[in-house]
Structures are given as C-alpha cells and as structure tokens.
Amino acid sequence: MPRIALIPGDGIGVEVVREARRLLEALNDSESINFELVEWDLGADRYLRDGTTITDDEFRSLSDDYDAVLLGALGDPRVPGNEHAKDILLGMRFKLDLYVNFRPCVLLAPELCPLRDVPGSLRLETFRENTEGAYTGMGGSFKTGTPDEVAIEEDVNTRKGVERIIRAAFEFAHTRGRERVTLVDKSNVQRHVGGLYRRVFAEVGEGYPDIAQDAMYVDAMAMDLVRRPERYQVIVTSNLFGDIISDLAAEITGGLGLAPSANMNPGRQALFEPVHGSAPDIAGQNKANPIGAIRCVGLMLDYFGHAEIGERVEAAVAASVREGRTTPDLGGDLSTEDVGQWISAHIAKGTPAST
C-alpha cells in the first residue's frame, strides 16, 4: 500500500490539499487503490512556533517511510526570508534527489487560452532539471553594499544530471507516443553548459530515431510558444529555464491555478505539488482553484500505475471547466470546496475517461 505524506504547508496550500485529500479518500473508498494518507505539520506556523523548518530525521522519514509526498505550497508574509520554504522544498528536491520536475500543461477548453489564435488542442509537457543548474546556491558576494559589490551565482551542470533529465524526457515521449522533443537552452551565450546539453541531447536522441528532435534558444522559445505553441510537445531544459518556460506554458493553457507538477526520482520517490504558490492575497477565502492540486492526484495515480484512474481525474477536471463549475480565477463562482466536491463526486460516479 503506497504511503503518502500530505504537507498542506501555507496559505492556499492548506485549502487545495484538503480537496486533493477529499479526492484521494473518495478513490480509496471506491477504487482498487489503497493509499495510506498521513498529514504532516510543516510550514510557516511550525517555523514560527518552534524555529524548526524541517529536521534531518524528518527528511530521513520522508525518504525511507513514504512512497510519495503531496505538498500544497510554502510561503508566508510572516517569514519574509522564506527560510522554511527553501529548507523544505529545495531540501526535498536535493536530499531526495528528485531530478525530474515534470510539468504537464494541457489546454482543457479554448476559452482558457489567452492567445488570439487559439490552437485546437495544446499539450506542453516540460521536463525541468531539478537538482542542479542555477539552484545549487554556489557562489558568493564580495564588498556587499558598496559601489564595488560583486555577486556570483554559479550555474552548475553535470554530465550525469544533464543525461538523466534528457533521457527521462525521451523515455516519456517514447512510452506515451509523443512525436517531438525540444531542447531549450542558451548555447549561443552559455557555451559550456549549452554545449553539454546539446551534445548529450544529440547522443541520447540517437536512441529515439522515431521522435522529431530540435533545439531552441530560450529567448526564441519564449516567442515561439506565444506564436505557435501547437508546434511543441515535450520540452526538456535546465532548472532555471524550466522554471520560466513552464510558467509560460501554464499561462497559455489556462493559468497557474490549473497546473500540476511532479518532482521525481522515478521508481524511488516522488513529490507532487501544484505549480502555484501560497497566494497570500486570497488565502483563507475559500476561493483558490484546487485543480492544480487535484491534477497532482492524477499524476500520482499515473506514477503508481493507475493510469486509467488518473485519466478519469483529468476527464472530471475537464468536465468541471466545460460546465463552468470553477472558482473565480476561471470565471466561475464556486468555492474551493465546491469545486473539490464536484470533481470528487463526478469521479466517484464512475464517469468514464472519455467524457
């Protein structure tokens, strides 16, 4: 039985994880799956209470005693330095070696796309490297606060790290029938890092002759994703570029409230989290869109081999959007709880994936 740690975290994280939990419990009651759900008290409240972000023992337990984590969001105005978020989220990514950050963005209804010429369908699936690049914290400052200040932030990339994310993207495309994988980099300026990415992309790509392959500079990609997003399918890129490009992909497919993500070390450990943050501006008002978190449940089901039930989650989400059963960010007037209840009920009714 997979054991899942639920970490609601801060702000709207608490509200959206409540709805994800509702769905998991409904599925536990009605389906062949049987997830053990254990709620964890990590976040700003705990940090402010006892000064602890997350302990080594807690990391060890998450790694050894759990099969996956579902995280809501971390971030609270009372912790302006965001220490707890850095320790917990970056700590999990690094210590659990969750090297794949998978961010699938699917356009569920044409009216959700802010572009003028809306493509018929859109499925942009980003594989963002998650354990190195510009996120290692390597670097430093010198003569801080003076006119001669120097600031260095290293972009650290290893052959191992680059190869495993590129391989994950190709393997996904191969097993899921995707036709194109696009590498995004800035190899015209970052010749060392970009050179490594390009070489490894070409080498790994040789093993997938049936998949169309191309490489784009990140600036050109930003333009092209707005101009003709339908050209792209699977995107593979570094930690920093993946952060940016996947937000753009999320926005052109309906916005942050809909986007899920999976941080994975495939076969070992996975952490699922909606792409959005804790949104302090709407926290506690029961109006956050729970769909990003609910789609995380869909990704989790897929990860544990229940792809068909995962597709039904996607279908129920699509139905809620089609029928206008949405929160205000998508133009509806339902609460977080209403949307969560509607989607859970829709799935529990046994609605097939094709509806």
| Catalytic (active-site) positions | 135, 186, 219, 243, 247
The minimum distance between CB 93 and ligand ATP, in angstroms, equals 15
State the pairing for strand pair 269-274/68-73.
parallel
What tokens were used for 179? 């036709």
The Cα 89–Cα 44 span in angstroms is 13
Q: Give the nearer residue to ligand ATP in terms of CB position, either 275 or 315.
A: 275
Q: Give the nearer residue to ligand ATP in terms of CB position, either 113 or 291.
A: 291
The minimum distance between CB 13 and ligand ATP, in angstroms, equals 9
> What is the contact surface with ligand ATP in residues (CB under 6 A)?
12, 75, 256-257, 276-279, 281-282, 288-289, 292, 327, 329
Task: List Cβ neighbours of 80 (8 Å cut-off, separation of 6 or more).
Answer: none
The Cα 234–Cα 256 span in angstroms is 19
If we measure between CA atoms, which residue out of 26, 28, 53 comes closest to residue 42? Answer: 53
The strand order across the sheet containing 68-73 reads 36-39, 3-9, 68-73, 269-274, 260-265, 100-106, 123-129, 234-237, 180-185, 212-217
The minimum distance between CB 184 and ligand ATP, in angstroms, equals 21
Q: Give the nearer residue to ligand ATP in terms of CB position, either 205 or 274.
A: 274
Under 8 Å between Cβ of 70 and 273: yes
Rounded CA Rg of the chain: 20
**E strand intervals along 10-53:** 36-39
Q: Give the nearer residue to ligand ATP in terms of CB position, either 248 or 353.
A: 248
Task: Give Cα 204 distance to the centre of its chain.
Answer: 24
The minimum distance between CB 332 and ligand ATP, in angstroms, equals 11
Q: Give the nearer residue to ligand ATP in terms of CB position, either 80 or 145.
A: 80
Q: Write the DSSP symbol of residue 206.
A: T
What tokens were used for 65? 């005693």
The minimum distance between CB 281 and ligand ATP, in angstroms, equals 5
Q: What are phi and psi of 182, to 5 degrees?
A: -120, 125
Instruction: Give me the DSSP letters along 277-299.
Output: ---TTTTTTT-S--HHHHHHHHH
Q: Give the nearer residue to ligand ATP in terms of CB position, either 7 or 181.
A: 7
The minimum distance between CB 10 and ligand ATP, in angstroms, equals 8
